[in-house]
Amino acid sequence: MPKPLQDAVVANKLVGRLGEPRDIAEAVRFLASDRSAFITGEIVAVGGGFNAHVPSLDSERRALATLGG
For the stretch 20-55, pLDDT in tens is 999 999 999 999 999 999 999 999 989 888 777 655
Q: Give the DSSP letter of residue 19.
A: -
Taking 60 as the threshold, does the pLDDT of residue 18 lie above it?
yes
The whole model's pTM is what?
0.67
pLDDT score for 54: 59
Q: What is the dihedral of CA 8, 66, 20, 36, to 10 degrees?
A: 40
Helix pair 57-65, 3-11: axis angle to 10 deg: 160
pLDDT score for 53: 64
Q: With contact defined as beta carbons under 8 Å apart, do 49 and 14 qualify?
A: yes
Taking 70 as the threshold, does the pLDDT of residue 57 lie above it?
no
Q: What is the dihedral of CA 68, 54, 51, 3, to 10 degrees?
A: 40
